Amino acid sequence: MLPFVFVLYVTNYLDRTSVAYAAIGMARDLGFNDHVLGMGIGIFFVSYVALQIPGALMVERWSARGMISVTMIVWGSLTALTALVHTPIQLYLARFLLGAAEAGFFPGVIVYLSHWFIQEDRAKATGNFMAAIPLSLIIGSPVAGWILGHNWFMAQGWRWLFFLEGIPAILLGIVAFFFLTDCPSQARWLVPEQRQWISHKLEEEKPPNRQLVSLGQALRSRTVLLLATAAFLQYFIGYSVIFWLPTVLKSQSGFSDLQVGLFGAIPYVVALIAMLFNGWHSDRSRERRWHAALPLLIEAAGFLCLISLPSSSQMTVLWFSMICVLMAFLPTFWAIPTEILSESTAAVAVGMINALASVAGFAGPYAFGYLHTRTGSFIAGFAVLMLCAFATAIFMLLTPAATHRRVSESLASS
């Protein structure tokens, strides 16, 4: 099951981030400036944020299999249709609809994994799943760079990029409906004894206080707010880096489109290794906060080097490799909510945290593009991202290492 969900998330991230490389072609062919591209990148997250919590709750109350399948078919179709864009308004509309289509996928899968994996395996499982982020960029960067440099049948390469990356999502969405099962008790590929054992272990690990927690109660919880703030700042950095890395490399190196794709993949190879190791070591030590904070401190050091040291093409790739270690934050961070909250509470909390954090998906790329347009330099943007990294590390260390009982009870009483 996990390898299949991993492939789904690779497809999800390819579709979401294809605009990062298509932006090079759209700027060249359609005359879109950094302001337009930043808005186009960011508006995706307006609708994405609005539907996060409903999407997570539908997975809990309806069907993970059905929700994942439907969202994939719809978002794949919308990605392919983005190839028809000619004006900024059309780009904004296409990205807005794509955000709405993808909204339920990520929080739904996080909740879904908690239905299958016991706590001692959860960060590894989440890490293996979220390793799809750097891997999709490792695969997508050179492929996108190659497609971008080719025109077929009188259509520009960036149009083919959107079309070709949308088709796999449609096909995998159909397969997902028949392949996935909502919970272990429905898995026909397990014998009855295995189904019972998994269900029994998961039931034993549920928090003793099973009261439902409303969105309002979650918003008043210090722990949930700390997690949401940390996630917001991390997403602010992460999406800024992902969406602007190709443009930064292109402007500072003089690389061809293909070379930008090839060298742009190197930081994500480092991120993949760091993510898998950090998730494994966090499970082994049963520690979460420092495993989330340390990648952020390494990332801040990378930004400091990028700002203060002489730049060259090779050194820029090296500093971005340090910066992309921030992705090792993700598996340990997302293991926390489903460990300390009951099922329904976790669905609300994961949806709320990801919704609030995903606002940064709009704010980060837009702010970075705005600062570059106003100053004519990337330095101001790098400085803001460095400060965000330090602040995120502090917030993670302030998050209490609470027991299941204490966190559940504090949420229910707040």
Q: Are 176 and 65 in contact (CB under 8 A)?
A: yes
DSSP 292-336: HHHHHHHHHHHHHHHHHSPP-HHHHHHHHHHHGGGGGHHHHHHHH
Distance CA 356, CA 50 (A): 9
Residue 406 pLDDT class (50, 70, 90 cuts): very low
Least confident of 124-133, 162-171, 322-331, 388-397: 124-133
DSSP 180: -
pTM above 0.85, yes or no: no
pLDDT (tens digit per residue) in 99-140: 888 887 877 777 777 777 776 776 677 777 777 778 877 777
Distance CA 62, CA 111 (A): 13
Least confident of 170-174, 201-205, 386-390: 201-205
**250 Cβ neighbours under 8 A, 6+ residues apart:** 24, 257, 260
Residue 73 pLDDT class (50, 70, 90 cuts): very high
Of 221, 239, 217, the C-alpha closest to 42 is 239
pLDDT at residue 170 tops 90:
yes
Average pLDDT over residues 4-17: 81
Of 303, 283, 331, 274, the C-alpha closest to 389 is 303
- Confidence at residue 408, expressed as pLDDT on a 0 to 100 scale: 43
- Confidence at residue 330, expressed as pLDDT on a 0 to 100 scale: 83
Half-sphere exposure of 374 (CA within 13 A, CB side): 9
Q: Are 76 and 166 in contact (CB under 8 A)?
A: yes
pLDDT (tens digit per residue) in 261-302: 788 788 888 988 888 888 888 878 878 888 888 999 998 998
For 403, other C-beta atoms within 10 Å of its C-beta total 11
pLDDT at residue 340 tops 50:
yes
Which H, E and C letters describe 84-149, residue by residue?
HCCCHHHHHHHHHHHHHHHCCHHHHHHHHHHCCCCHHHHHHHHHHHHCHHHHHHHHHHHHHHHHHC
- Confidence at residue 342, expressed as pLDDT on a 0 to 100 scale: 53
Domains of the chain: 2-183+217-398 (1.20.1250.20)
- Confidence at residue 390, expressed as pLDDT on a 0 to 100 scale: 92
For 405, other C-beta atoms within 10 Å of its C-beta total 12
- Confidence at residue 47, expressed as pLDDT on a 0 to 100 scale: 85
Q: Are 128 and 6 in contact (CB under 8 A)?
A: yes
Q: Which two tokens stand for residue 25?
A: 């072609």
pLDDT at residue 403 tops 80:
no
